[in-house]
Amino acid sequence: MPIATVNPATGETLEEFTAQSPDEVDRRIAGAAEAFRALRRTTFETRAEWMRATADILEHETDRIAATMTIEMGKTIGAAKAEATKCVRGMRYYADNAERLLADEPYAHPDKVGASSAYVTYQPLGPILAVMPWNFPLWQVVRFAAPALMVGNTGLLKHASNVPRTALYLDTLFTRGGFPEGSFATLLIGSSDVEQVLTDPRIRAATLTGSEPAGRSVAEIAGRHIKKTVLELGGSDPFVVMPSADLDKAAKVATTARCQNNGQSCIAAKRFIVHEDCYDEFAERFVAAMTALKVGDPMDEETDVGPLATESGRDDVEQLVADAVGKGAKVLCGGDTPDRPGWWYPPTVLADITPSMRMYAEEVFGPVAQLYRVGSLAEAVELANVTTFGLGANAWTRDGDEQAAFVRDLEAGMVTINGMVTSYPELPFGGVKNSGYGRELGAPGPKEFCNAKTVWIS
C-alpha cells in the first residue's frame, strides 16, 4: 500500500510520500536508543513538565490536527476535535499520576523472606515499537506514548500508510514539548519493513493496535526474539437490551455506539441482542435513529457520519452486507452504496442474521448493525459470547441481578452497563480471546513496558 494522503470523501490523492531509507530508519532507531539512556535517568517531575508542555501544544493546535485527521481518514470534524481533546486529557492524566502509579511497592513483611527490606520497583525497558492503525490516528498513538514516555521508555511509531500527515505531526510533537531528541519518532515505512525493525536488538518490545492477522504476525516475530508485546485487535462487541432498560436512551446510545467514527471502531457495538419482550419497541426506535443520522461532508460540523476511510474498507462492508442479504437477512434501513465520489456507506440495520452469513463471525468495520432477538438472559449471553472476539460488551438492564450476571458471564475485557464501551485514561483498556492481550491505560498500562524489578536487602 503506498504511503499517501487520500481524501476518502472524494477519492482524490492529495499527497504521496517516499518511505524512509534503511539508513534513515537505522538512524532513528539509534536515536531512540540514545535518547533512552538519557530519558531513563530523568525524574518524574521533569518528564511531567515536558508532558504538560506537549499537552499545551496539542491543545493550542487542536483545530489544525483535527482537520488533518478528517482529510486523511474521513472522521467528522467534531469527532476529530474531540479526539485531540481526549489526547490532551490523557497526557495530563499521566503527567499528574505516573509517579503514583509507578511507585515502589514495599513488601509488608520482609522478615518472612529473610530481609530487612524488600520491594518491587518499576523501571523502563527501552525503545518500544508502536504499530498503529488509521481509525483513531492521534488517540491510539497518544494512549501508548504518554504512559510509555512517563515511564522513561522511548517510542518509534509505524503508523498506517493512509495517515502520513498525522504520523509526521506526531514525529515532532513530544520533542517540541521538551522531551530529548529521539524520545519519540515516526518511521515512515511500509508494513513489509516492520519485521526488520522489530527484530533489531535495540527494540525491546512492541505494541500493536489493528487487525487480527497483523497482531498474529507481530506476536510471532516478537516471540521468536523473546520480546514483550501488547495487542489490541478486532472486536464484534455485543449490545444487549433487556426489558427493564430505558429503551429511549438505549436506542440513542446504540446509534452512537454503532456509528461512532463512521462505524470504524474496534469497540463499536456491532451486534444488538434484544430480549423478545422489548424487541419491537427497541427496533423501531433504533432504526428511526439510524435513519435520521446525517451523512455528508465530514468537515461540516452538522454531519453525523462521513465516508469510510479506504476504498477497500468500503468494499469489505458492501460484500459483507451483500452476503447477508443474499442469504436471507432483512434490511431495515440503509444497505445501498451512494452513487458519488469517495467511499461512502449509509447507516444500515440488518435483521434475521444466521450463522451461515459471514458477518455472524466476522467484524463489520462500518456503520452496519446486526439485530438479534433472544428469549432469555442465558440466550443473550450465549449469543454475545459466540464470537471469537472479546474486546468490549454493553448490557442494558435496570435489574441488579441481571447486571451482576452480565458482568460475570460476558467474555470481554470490558463490560459497560447502561452505557457504551469507551476508553478513559483512568481505566484499563484491552480484550481477551482473539481481541488480543495486555492492557493499555489505567494503572496496568504503564507497567506493561516496565521491568518489575524485585529488590531484596539483607
Q: What is the CATH number of the domain that holds 71?
A: 3.40.605.10
Integer-rounded Cα radius of gyration of the chain: 23
Residue 41 lies in a domain: yes
> 275 and 332: one domain?
yes
Domain extent for 280 = 237-417
**Residues in a beta bridge with 374:** 275
Closest among 396, 384, 385, 392 to 413, alpha carbons compared: 392
- For residue 316, the surrounding DSSP H or E stretch is helix 311-326
Q: What pLDDT sits at residue 122? A: 98
Residue 400 lies in a domain: yes
Residue 87 among the catalytic residues: no
Q: What pLDDT sits at residue 383? A: 98
Q: What pLDDT sits at residue 326? A: 98
CB count within 10 Å of CB 354 equals 10
Q: Which residues of 280-299 are buried (b: 16+ CB within 10 A; e: fewer)?
A: ebbbebbbebbeebebbbbb
> 166 and 256: one domain?
no
> 30 and 142: one domain?
yes
Closest among 346, 332, 219, 358 to 279, alpha carbons compared: 332
> 344 and 403: one domain?
yes
Backbone angles phi, psi at 456, to 5 degrees: -125, 125
> 207 and 251: one domain?
no
> 159 and 111: one domain?
yes
Q: What pLDDT sits at residue 282? A: 98
Q: What pLDDT sits at residue 439? A: 98
> 179 and 48: one domain?
yes
CA distance 308 to 53: 34
Q: What pLDDT sits at residue 1? A: 81
Give every strand in the sheet of 237-241, ordered side by side: 330-333, 348-351, 368-374, 269-275, 237-241, 392-396, 414-417
Total of domains in the chain: 2
pLDDT one digit per residue (tens) for the chain, 458 residues: 899 999 999 999 999 999 999 999 999 999 999 999 999 999 999 999 999 999 999 999 999 999 999 999 999 999 999 999 999 999 999 999 999 999 999 999 999 999 999 999 999 999 999 999 999 999 999 999 999 999 999 999 999 999 999 999 999 999 999 999 999 999 999 999 999 999 999 999 999 999 999 999 999 999 999 999 999 999 999 999 999 999 999 999 999 999 999 999 999 999 999 999 999 999 999 999 999 999 999 999 999 999 999 999 999 999 999 999 999 999 999 999 999 999 999 999 999 999 999 999 999 999 999 999 999 999 999 999 999 999 999 999 999 999 999 999 999 999 999 999 999 999 999 999 999 999 999 999 999 999 999 999 99
Residue 50 lies in a domain: yes
CA distance 133 to 313: 13
> 112 and 258: one domain?
no
> 391 and 358: one domain?
yes
Among candidate residues 72, 87, 259, 266, the one labeled active-site is 266
> 113 and 128: one domain?
yes
Among candidate residues 232, 363, 402, 448, the one labeled active-site is 232
Residue 152 lies in a domain: yes
Residue 247: which CATH number?
Answer: 3.40.309.10
Residue 24 lies in a domain: yes
- For residue 197, the surrounding DSSP H or E stretch is helix 194-198
CA distance 36 to 41: 9
